[in-house]
Structure 1
C-alpha cells in the first residue's frame, strides 16, 4: 500500500511516499485503521490538529474502507486567509 504525504506530514515522516508492506497493510481495513497505524509509527503526527485522508482522490471518513491498490493521500491541516 502506497501512501502519499504532503506538507508537514512529509516533514514528520521524512519522505513524500510511504510504501507499507503487505504484512502491515493487510490489517488496515479502514481510513481510521491507517491513521492509527501511522500515528503509532510516527508520533509527531499526533500533534497535528487533524489529518484529512483522500482515497482515490476523494476525501474519506475514518470508517471508509481502504484496499491494497487504493491511492491514499494524507493531507495536513491547512490555514488560509
Structure 2
C-alpha cells in the first residue's frame, strides 16, 4: 500500500474518531465492503458532477481506495485501532 493511501486513511480515521462516528462507520463499511468496487465505479461515473461541489483530488483518491477490498479492510482496522487509542 502506498504512503499516500495510508496518510489518507489515517486522516479519515482520525476525523471519524473525533466526530464519534466509529461504530456507524465500521458498521457501514463492513456491510458494504463487498460492493466497494461497484461504489468506486459509481463514484467515477458521478465524478464530473460531484466535483463541482467537492474537492476533486480527494474525491478521486477515495474512489481509488474503494476499488480494492483490501483497502476497505485496512481502513476498518485503522478506525478500530484509532478508537482504542
TM-score, L = length of structure 2: 0.29
Q: TM-score, normalised by structure 1?
A: 0.30
